[in-house]
Amino acid sequence: MAVAAAVMLMLFFSSCMGASVFRAAATAAGFEDVPTVPFDEGFTPLFGESNLGLSGNGTVRVTLDGHTGSGFISKQYFHHGLFSADVRLPAGHTAGVVVAFYLSNGDVFEDTHDELDFEFLGNRAGHRWRMQTNVYGNGSTARGREERYLMPFDPSAAKHRFSVLWSSAAVVFFVDGTPVREVQRHAGAGMGSNYPSKPMAVYVTIWDGSTWATENGKYTVDYRHGPFTAEFSGLVLRGCPAEATGDIRQLHRATTVDRCAARERELATAGYAVMTTRKRAAMRRWRMKQTLYTVCYDTDRYPAALPECDVNPVERQMFERWGESKVAFRSRLSRVETPLSPPLVSMMQAD
């Protein structure tokens, strides 16, 4: 009880930190030096083209209304890399709305697809957006690796940077330059074939997730509050493109991986990619304050933790056996809310 009380006290004081701290972290982490890609050069519409908008400053707007959602996709598939976007989410009553920034190859490998997700889950007016990360490899959606969080800022008030670093050794999710989740391929017994290893494209979508997104479907999209528009800018595709002339189903073979080896070494030594002791400490602080649900402490689903999980005894006391946080994160942005464990939904299943 004493340990739990100490952690709760730490969470209360740390909640006073402003969102500017997190934006500054992106600069400190070296993300400001990463080149961006113009939309027309790197992306193409995916669906709902009438609800896609491109401004003169490079901002892309994706909109959901009563007729359709919308989305776009990268023109190339990539073998590993850094993929990033500055995102501003819709304000107001957004229950049931899902905005996603993710990597996938599900349109090619229907039964064995890989996927790395940032999913942003809308909420009722006066309640906060949730953020969810997912890691799927080789069609392993039944063995989900989901986590869900509250964000330490209002994502509708200003843009914030969300980044995925994917290498042959690890996947790291970043929020404003701060690592918030690291999944190591060879940690513990290793992930084996469940680690995403085939070339993936980058997607941005907004769609109606009424069946599950807000309190497991309790609150659905109310189009009287729409249309709902999210803004994306600062798009980064920093990876090794798959060969445009090859069969994408063969592009994860050894010869193509060898072709990308030099690019991956460059990626691994970049300042933003090196996971220092300081970065991991910042990640642990972020996770202790913001995590609502983690698969790593969900002993109902996995009595033995997944091999990549870094189980911490102090943190473990802050979670129920089903992986849900016992501590409601307090902030000036909203009242205390009850966290809910996420359903097993991948972007491909949602589509």
Burial 76-104 (b: 16+ CB within 10 A, else e): bbbbbbbbbbbbbbbeebbbbbbbbbbbb
Centre a 10 Å sphere on the Cβ of residue 17 and count the other Cβ atoms it contains. 14
Q: Mean pLDDT, the chain, as a whole number?
A: 84
Q: Contact at 8 Å (CB) between 161 and 85?
A: yes
DSSP one-letter string for 169-234: SEEEEEETTEEEEEEETTSTT--GGGS--S-BEEEEEEEE-TTTTTTTTTS---GGG--EEEEEEE
- pLDDT top residue among 184 and 20: 184
End-to-end CA distance of the chain: 44
Distance CA 202, CA 350 (A): 16
Is pLDDT of 331 > 50? no
Select which of 32, 41, 110, 119 is catalytic: 119
Question: Distance between CA atoms of 307 and 107, rounded to whole angstroms?
Answer: 28
24 vs 231: CA distance, rounded Å: 20
Pairing mode of beta strands 147-150, 78-88: unpaired
CB 117 within 8 A of CB 345: no
Would you state the pLDDT for residue 237? 96
Question: What is the amino acid identity at position 113?
Answer: H
Q: What is the pLDDT of residues 181-190, one digit of tens each?
A: 999 998 777 8
Closest alpha carbon to 289 in 126, 128, 154, 151: 151
pTM: 0.86
Q: Which three-class secondary structure state does DSSP give residue 259?
A: helix
Q: How many helices (H) and strands (E) does the chain have?
A: 8, 16
| pLDDT tens digits, 154-199 | 999 999 999 999 999 999 999 999 999 999 998 777 888 889 999 9
Tens digit of each residue's pLDDT (9 = 90 or more) over 33-78? 789 999 999 999 999 999 999 998 899 999 999 999 999 999 999 9
What secondary structure does DSSP assign to 225-239, as a single string? G--EEEEEEEEEEEE
**Higher local confidence (pLDDT), 39 or 151:** 39
CB atoms within 10 A of CB 153: 22
Between 20 and 30, whose confidence is greater?
A: 30
Q: What is the CB neighbour count within 10 angstroms for residue 8?
A: 14
- 250 Cβ contact list (under 8 Å, min separation 6): 256
Which residue, chain included where needed, has tokens 């980044």? 163
Write down the pLDDT at residue 9: 41
Specify the length of the chain in residues: 351
16 falls in which pLDDT band (50, 70, 90)?
A: very low
Alpha-carbon gap, residue 305 to 143, rounded angstroms: 12
DSSP string, 25-50: HHHHTTGGGSPP--HHHHEEEEE-GG
Rg (CA), the chain: 19
* Contact present, 183 and 170 (Cβ < 8 Å): yes
Which pLDDT score is estimated for 33?
A: 79
Catalytic residue among 41, 110, 115, 243: 115
C-alpha span between 161 and 166 (Å, rounded): 16
pLDDT of 54: 95
Q: Residue 272: pLDDT above 50?
A: yes
Q: Would you say 323 and 297 are in contact if contact means Cβ atoms under 8 Å apart?
A: yes
* Range scoring the smallest mean pLDDT among 16-20, 321-325, 345-349: 16-20
Amino acid at 167: S
115 included as an active-site residue: yes
Q: How confident is the model at residue 260 (pLDDT cuts 50, 70, 90)?
A: confident
Among candidate residues 77, 108, 104, the one with its CA nearest the CA of residue 256: 77
* Chain segment 81-106, per-residue pLDDT in tens: 999 999 999 999 999 999 999 999 99
